[in-house]
Structure 1
């Protein structure tokens, strides 16, 4: 099979390679990946920033999430069969034609959802539902989402709006209309952010959801109690009293709450935004684009020998 391996740490560390197709061990599922999703975790691993947290024996296949079709199942697997369309997280690395993983890390792709959309959802759905379970706002309250146009931020925003909350979202000016379309009130980053928060939420802010960091917790401490902020990006904010939603990314499972997001998206009740698409042979460029930040939605890479039209993209 065709794959990419991390040959050495650094921006130029990914190299195309070939290998034998990944075969499932007992209790595993093998999936032919038709669409891959790029996460900040991917380029942080590539750069070597997480070498102690996630040790690798190089060269190694990296990549975290994607979608495709089951091609074989190991003994003892129930719930999935050859030919099923699935999405989720992959133990053997997603930058490959075929990857293996545990069934608990997968979900069936519901009818009405394209492969590209399904690939864009696992991390956003799992993370958003998990942090909303860890910090629930008071009913019909005003909340703030930092990085509200990104894949996770826009999912948190939409789920909060669905639950009847008034959402203020931070984003660059180019994404303000997008946030309005999700039902949020947009404000900018940086200087003036706290004044803008005060202006649009004079009654107070009950909770904050930080998906991008950049010292957001410290910046808004005057208007949001740090103990009422949960962050997925700023681990140092725990010292200020914020809730840090960490954990081992290699052990993330697909929960029922996350699977429900796939159903909502298939029915058109949740918007799935794709920031940009790349071909498989452009995968290093896809990581570089993701690393620039300020994205609206998810960067998607078509699987090897897949056209954009094959995965539901024009």
Structure 2
């Protein structure tokens, strides 16, 4: 038997609880991974609360978790290029808070020996999201880019990728995270009343693109600061693209994840780990994520 975390109803973090399951068997083209660590993301908490119940109702008891790192222990038919014992990371929708996951071999990326399990588990979701989002809003050398909620997981990666591309980055965050943003290559600015004016002062020539991870003020400020609405991307607001003609951005790309792993291996990318919790304390991990003050990533670790 193996442990997986589920929730049987929508609610507070305490609805998360462990159950025993039979370890899954990989189908053709899949691998089974013995999970060493799993990333925790704000969207996990939203799913658990029922924020998406109207459009994506859960089938209870519902599994949860979208990113993992671990060791392949079974190979399905037709899989080439991987073997039992390989250390890997990747995405697997709605099943990663568990001791075992199965994933398509095409979505699996090798983990460098120098990459800690916690970092490997925390990178796939935020890394692929940030990488894809910046391409969708066409960030390039010479741009000035505004990133909202810049100290979070997506913001942490997006700052570094934008900086590596040759862009100037301004990031919104509370003052206690300003030194952190500077260490990543961004000029920090506090959010709240007067944000538009503060960004104008930092970028008198204007802002070329914006990435929003908070909605509300992030959308309002971006609309006021970025002339080309197609270069404003939101990760969280489903209605703003319809209302204002901006983009709903993000998504997964295994090629992007491989590129991110290479950047990490070469010392060009970092992902700080804010906190770790044992798998069976997933409810505590969700409470931490829900504070809205996570710097980097929260990760679950396995026994």
| Comparing 173-182 and 83-92, the one that deviates more | 83-92
Query: What's the CA shift string for 1:118-175, capped at 9, x where partnerless?
Result: 1111012211111122121353121111111111111111011111111111011111
How many Å separate the matches in 1 of 2:181 and 2:78?
45
Partner of 1:158, secondary structure, is helix
Partner of 2:35, secondary structure, is strand
After superposition, residues 70-219 of structure 1 pair within 5 angstroms as 70-91=72-93, 93-219=95-221
Aligned pair in 2 of structure 1 residues 138, 117: CA closer, same or farther (>3 Å)?
closer
- State the match for 2:46 in structure 1: 44
TM-score between the two structures when normalised by the length of structure 2: 0.94
| Comparing 293-302 and 92-101, the one that deviates more | 92-101
- State the match for 2:289 in structure 1: 290
Query: Does structure 2 conserve the Cα–Cα contact (< 8 Å) formed by 1:91 and 1:102?
Result: no
Q: Of the candidates 23, 33, 39, which is equivalent to residue 25 of structure 2?
A: 23
Q: Deviation of residue 105 (structure 1)?
A: 2.3
How many Å separate the matches in 1 of 2:232 and 2:98?
37
Partner of 2:6, secondary structure, is strand
Query: What's the CA shift string for 1:262-303, capped at 9, x where partnerless?
Result: 111122211111111112221111011111212110001111
Query: Does structure 1 conserve the Cα–Cα contact (< 8 Å) formed by 2:132 and 2:250?
Result: no
* Residue segments in structure 2 that go unaligned for 5+ positions in a row: none
How many Å separate the matches in 1 of 2:107 and 2:9?
28
Q: Deviation of residue 199 (structure 1)?
A: 0.6
How many Å separate the matches in 2 of 1:234 and 1:61?
24
How many Å separate the matches in 2 of 1:14 and 1:123?
21
- State the match for 1:8 in structure 2: 9
| Comparing 195-204 and 221-230, the one that deviates more | 221-230
- State the match for 1:272 in structure 2: 271
How many Å separate the matches in 2 of 1:24 and 1:137?
39
Aligned pair in 2 of structure 1 residues 220, 256: CA closer, same or farther (>3 Å)?
closer
Query: Does structure 2 conserve the Cα–Cα contact (< 8 Å) formed by 1:232 and 1:246?
Result: yes
Partner of 2:62, secondary structure, is coil
How many Å separate the matches in 2 of 1:167 and 1:94?
33
TM-score between the two structures when normalised by the length of structure 1: 0.90
| Comparing 219-228 and 159-168, the one that deviates more | 219-228
Query: What's the CA shift string for 1:58-111, capped at 9, x where partnerless?
Result: 112211111110110111122222111111112460111111121222211123
- State the match for 1:58 in structure 2: 60
Query: Does structure 1 conserve the Cα–Cα contact (< 8 Å) formed by 2:147 and 2:212?
Result: yes
- Residues 1:230 and 2:229 are matched in the alignment: no
Q: Deviation of residue 14 (structure 1)?
A: 1.3
How many Å separate the matches in 1 of 2:142 and 2:269?
20
How many Å separate the matches in 1 of 2:7 and 2:236?
24
How many Å separate the matches in 1 of 2:44 and 2:140?
35
Partner of 1:160, secondary structure, is helix
* Residue segments in structure 1 that go unaligned for 5+ positions in a row: 306-314
How many Å separate the matches in 1 of 2:135 and 2:250?
14
Query: Does structure 2 conserve the Cα–Cα contact (< 8 Å) formed by 1:92 and 1:99?
Result: no
